[in-house]
């Protein structure tokens, strides 16, 4: 992809996702993810309806009239986006590949965070951490994140969620809002997820295509495993083949839901042909 085409794609995604974050998600994001606490702002005269528990008795005695302490939310937060860039993300039977939906959702979340003056960081992972962009503020930083999501070429096509979560725990010592975007066709990550979710506010966004849920009956078909590159002939007419695949796939989905629920983390299921806008908005409203 040449520079002109890349900039055009970045601009197109910015226009679409920034409009969403401006008009839909900005307020929802703010009310869903709270700041670190309340910090002292000022002292002012007591007004009817103020909470009497906030009266500053020292100032009240000095001026011989009631004054209260005013507190405000310490707003600044850090959002860390974790995007799976393994081979299985380059799959799609509808209008878009999974990795394209990942890019749009990540961009929407990043602009929502920017509206609240929060920092945004990025971790791209396969079976290793492929790229880490430390959290920073500002539009130009978000545009860099979008560029990387569009054009980054991973070294590996395989997935290891455990390694990505370990890296997160090592680089993020303070609490962060974490969105992990993947198809979660992986296992044995529950323990590491619990450690990360104990410190951070973690949400797993599972991106999937409806054709991944079951194999259609198409006879003998040559298929390629996107993560291993291996080709194989599959007899899709076989009921046992279709049944075993369906069992394998749904076990991964159940493991994802169980792992995140038991870890106290949030989950969002987003099929590529569904509106991720409704999914995100519904999730924010449920948490607010």
How do residues 109-166 score in pLDDT, each as one tens digit? 998 888 888 899 999 999 999 999 999 998 899 999 999 999 999 999 899 999 999 9
For residue 194, what pLDDT band results from cuts at 50, 70 and 90? very high
Chain centre distance of CA 149: 13
pLDDT per residue over 72-116, tens digit each?
545 578 999 999 998 765 555 556 788 889 999 999 999 888 888
pLDDT value at residue 265: 96
Token digits of residue 72 = 């405000």
Q: List Cβ neighbours of 146 (8 Å cut-off, separation of 6 or more).
A: 10, 13, 14, 103, 106, 107, 110
Of 168, 159, 140, nearest in space to 82 by CA:
168
Instruction: State yes or no: pLDDT of 70 exceeds 80.
Output: no
- Residue 242: burial class (beta carbons within 10 Å; 0-12, 13-18, 19+): middle
- The confidence band for 27, taking pLDDT boundaries of 50, 70 and 90, is low
The whole-chain average pLDDT of the chain stands at 85
207 contacts 270 by C-beta, under 8 angstroms: yes
* CATH placement of domain 3-32+77-287: 3.40.50.410
Phi, psi of 182 (to 5 degrees): -165, 170
Looking at residue 270, its pLDDT comes to 93
> pTM value?
0.78
pLDDT at residue 26 tops 70: no
Residues 6+ apart with CB under 8 A from 191: none
DSSP 195: H
Q: Look up residue 188 and give its two tokens.
A: 């044995």
pLDDT at 5: 77
Comma-separated ranges of CATH 3.40.50.410 domains in the chain? 3-32+77-287
Query: Smallest Cα–Cα separation from 25: which of 92, 111, 91?
Result: 111
């Amino acid at each position: 992809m040449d520079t002109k085409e890349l900039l055009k794609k970045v601009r197109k995604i910015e226009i679409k996702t920034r409009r969403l974050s401006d008009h839909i998600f900005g307020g929802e994001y703010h009310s869903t993810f709270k700041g670190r606490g309340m910090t002292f702002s000022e002292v002012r005269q007591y007004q009817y309806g103020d909470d009497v528990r906030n009266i500053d008795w020292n100032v009240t005695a000095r001026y011989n009239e009631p004054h209260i302490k005013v507190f405000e939310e310490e707003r600044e937060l850090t959002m860390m986006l974790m995007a799976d860039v393994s081979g299985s993300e380059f799959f799609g039977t509808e209008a878009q590949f999974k990795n394209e939906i990942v890019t749009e959702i990540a961009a929407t979340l990043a602009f929502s965070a920017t509206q609240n003056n929060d920092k945004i960081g990025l971790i791209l992972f396969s079976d290793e951490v492929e790229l880490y962009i430390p959290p920073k503020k500002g539009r130009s930083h978000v545009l860099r994140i979008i560029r990387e999501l569009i054009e980054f070429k991973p070294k590996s096509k395989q997935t290891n969620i455990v390694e990505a979560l370990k890296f997160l725990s090592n680089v993020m010592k303070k609490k962060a809002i974490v969105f992990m975007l993947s198809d979660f066709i992986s296992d044995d990550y529950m323990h590491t997820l619990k450690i990360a979710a104990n410190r951070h506010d973690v949400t797993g966004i599972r991106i999937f295509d409806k054709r991944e849920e079951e194999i259609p009956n198409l006879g003998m078909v040559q298929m390629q495993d996107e993560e291993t590159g291996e080709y194989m002939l599959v007899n899709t007419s076989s009921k046992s083949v279709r049944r075993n695949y369906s069992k394998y796939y749904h076990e991964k989905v159940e493991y994802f839901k169980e792992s995140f629920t038991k870890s106290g983390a949030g989950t969002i299921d987003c099929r590529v042909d569904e509106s991720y806008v409704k999914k995100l908005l519904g999730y924010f409203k449920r948490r607010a």
